[in-house]
Chain A
Amino acid sequence: SQQGEEDPQALSIQEGENATMNCSYKTSINNLQWYRQNSGRGLVHLILIRSNEREKHSGRLRVTLDTSKKSSSLLITASRAADTASYFCATDKNSGNTPLVFGKGTRLSVIA
């Protein structure tokens, strides 16, 4: 079963604009991660935010986490055509090695 939902399911923007994707989850978590998947490829890890963190940055990526609302957002600034992909949030319940529970993903299209 899927842990949560990404919102929106699909997003189309112009190059240079910012893209915001949201993720909600159902149960308590240890970490929340965002992954990217290009068509026909595997998932690439983008960023991990721990349950005791509220915001994290990596390059053009900004992730927020609100554990009281069980939600997270991923912001991609100054988007590029190469950012076109599906983006998934994933949660894990325990520390250490543990399976991830993924949402259904947001399909982002960046138009040049």
Chain B
Amino acid sequence: GAGVSQTPSNKVTEKGKYVELRCDPISGHTALYWYRQSLGQGPEFLIYFQGTGAADDSGLPNDRFFAVRPEGSVSTLKIQRTERGDSAVYLCASSRQGGQPQHFGDGTRLSIL
């Protein structure tokens, strides 16, 4: 497809477990962003990649969160020792080199029981 693809669409797991969320950006988009959206709120920035490297990870809440983009396309957001407060929709977006707008996937709804 032509859009940003995120898998899984839903993830339910127990507190303390490890989860991986995947984002497949639009082909040719060099910038990739992860955001987190809680119920009734706007998305909040987590981390942004330019190519393979993390250009800005200032939004990651703590060291349990980590993201990679080893080949400059697909990215994986990894959360260790999940907590109930991690429950949210995790959104991925991509954009072309040079700026905006950002194109969003439908997100992964993560529920920590």
**What is the interface of chain A, defined by CB distance below 8 A to chain B?**
1-2, 31, 33, 35, 40-45, 48, 88, 90, 92, 95-105
Interface assignment of B62: CB less than 8 Å from any CB of chain A? no
Q: How far is the CA of A95 from the CA of B99 in the complex (A)?
A: 7
B58-91 vs A, Cβ < 8 Å mask (1 yes, 0 no): 0100000000000000000000000000000001
**How many B residues touch A, CB cutoff 8 Å?**
30
Task: Give complex CA distance A93, B35 in Å.
Answer: 17
As a 0/1 sequence over residues 32 to 76 of chain B, the CB contacts with chain A under 8 angstroms (1 = contact) are: 010100001111110010100001100100000000000000000
| In the complex, residue of chain A having the shortest beta-carbon distance to the beta carbon of B45 | A99
Contact partners of A31 in chain B: CB under 8 A: 99-100
Q: Contacts A99-B56, A100-B45, A103-B42 hold; do A44 and B100 have CB atoms under 8 A apart?
A: no
**A2-B42, A97-B98 given; A41·B106 CB < 8 A:** yes
Per the bound structure, the CA–CA distance linking A44 and B43 in Å amounts to 13
**Bound state CA distance, A26 and B35, in angstroms?**
20
Contact flag A104-B41 (CB < 8 Å), given A42-B91, A97-B48, A97-B50 = yes
| Contacts from B to A (Cβ < 8 Å) | 4, 30-31, 33, 35, 40-45, 48, 50, 55-56, 59, 91, 93, 95, 97-107
Contact B106 A42 (CB under 8 A): yes
- A92 to B99 alpha-carbon distance, docked (Å): 10
With A97-B30, A104-B40 known as contacts, the answer to whether A43 contacts B104 (CB < 8 A) is yes
Shortest Cβ distance from residue B13 to the other chain A in the assembled complex, whole angstroms: 20
| 18 A-B contact pairs sorted by A residue (CB < 8 Å) | A31-B100, A35-B104, A40-B106, A42-B4, A42-B106, A43-B43, A43-B104, A45-B101, A88-B42, A88-B43, A90-B42, A92-B100, A95-B99, A97-B31, A97-B55, A97-B99, A100-B43, A102-B35
